[in-house]
Amino acid sequence: MKTTMTAKVSVTRISTHARVHRTTDRPDLQALCAAAHDAPLDAARAASVWPDLTARAAGTLVKALRRMGLLGRGGTLTAAGERCRAAAQVVEVEEGQHHLWVAEHPLLGRRALHVERVGDDDRRRDDRGRDDDVIALSGDACDAHPRPSVLTGQELLVERVGPGDLAPAGRISPQTAATLTVDVDFDADRATWTLEGTLHGAREGQDFRTVPVRLELDTQALYARWEPDWSVERGRLLMGYDDDPSDPPFFRDWTYDPVTLPDGGTFRDVTVLGVPVAPLDDAEAARWALALWARRAAALDAPTRRDALTRDYAALVAGTPVAAVPAPALDALLQRLRADRARDAFWRVAAPHDLNPTEVIR
């Protein structure tokens, strides 16, 4: 039981003044942080790690590590320094004019997909924009968590800079659309989303596709919200017999329009594949069982006695939602075959019992 949902997501390029925190690989600093893990790092210990440094350069390097937040007072390792020691990564901060590609959707919130520093030529082009292209960005225009760039994979945290608590105005470019895809596996109780599209802006457009991101969803409860006839206890959709020749017989594909995700927006034309179904009540179960038996009898290629038909029926319904329904009477089977206009099957079932099968039907 699975479904795939898609929705269009607007992506806007915003040019604004911002402070950007970038997570950068710095294996060159990892050895220094490892040395500081064993004992406080001073100029002498730094020079022992990088032997080519002069004493003055080693002292300058230690001060730089403090300014980067890797070392505390006395040369001890900070939490950022521990991260560098373990993963060879540091967070570097740059401030200035940037292009932000921002996506917005109820499932994603409003987040920066990618950030680029604006060059002089790009800045001059931005300055020629119309006044109605300028918007005031709210304080939550980008989320407050580091996110990987969809183009480089580099973790980014965007913090806009403005006077006091006011965010500056930003100049926007026409919106483009990306595609949000949500895959739900109800049987595995797993849901993920991906986003793909093209970033247009100062540089040539580049395609991107994010890695799947896990959604915390109770998928059974979710489907129960979409389908009022879904039985959580039985794990099946309860319904009347619909004369559907699907094989296997107790699974259906259902389309819903629209559906919603909790705090995740609305999706249209959503088809759930392989929905397990079951009869709504005993009367529907009897109709379903008889129809299955008639379908099996219609496939017979030779006259078959009742005891063989009964054994075939038991095997047919075993393990299905109609397993508790006893084999219908032979005349009920014949009536169903006649209603289905299965003339040859009618005779193959009736012949071993009566050469005048209309008498059996009465």
Over residues 215-228, the pLDDT tens digits come to 999 999 999 999 99
Q: pLDDT value at position 204?
A: 57
| DSSP letter string, 245-297 | --SSTTEEEEEESSEEETTTEEESSEEEEEEEEEESSHHHHHHHHHHHHHHHH
Q: What is the model's pLDDT at position 190? A: 96
- The whole-number average pLDDT for the span 252-259 is 95
Q: Which distant-in-sequence residues (6+ apart) come within 8 Å of 215 by Cβ?
A: 107, 182, 191, 192, 193, 261, 264
For residues 352 and 303, what is the distance between their CA atoms, to the nearest angstrom?
Answer: 6
Taking residues 115-120, report their average pLDDT. 76
Q: How far is CA 47 from CA 52, 72, 342, in A?
A: 7, 19, 94
The whole-number pLDDT of residue 134 equals: 36
What global pTM score does this model have? 0.74
DSSP 311: H
DSSP secondary structure code for residue 218 in this structure? -
On the question of pLDDT at 136 being above 70, the answer is no
Average pLDDT in the 112-125 region? 69
Of residues 174 and 263, which shows the higher confidence score? 263
Range 125-138 average pLDDT: 39
Q: Would you say residue 162 has pLDDT above 80?
A: no
Residue 128 binned pLDDT confidence (cut-offs 50, 70, 90): very low
Of residues 54 and 139, the one with the higher pLDDT is 54
Alpha carbons 361 and 225: distance in angstroms, whole number: 46
With 70 as the cut, is the pLDDT of residue 139 above it? no
pLDDT at position 23 is: 85
pLDDT in tens, 24-48: 888 989 989 999 988 899 999 899 8
Residues 260-289 have a mean pLDDT of 94
Does position 143 have pLDDT exceeding 80, yes or no? no
Predicted local distance difference test score (pLDDT) of residue 9? 92
Q: Is 226 exposed, middle or buried (0-12, 13-18, 19+ CB in 10 A)?
A: middle
- The residue ranges of every structural domain in the chain are 1-24+90-232, 27-87, 282-361
More confident residue, 123 or 246: 246
Which pLDDT value is given to residue 137? Answer: 39
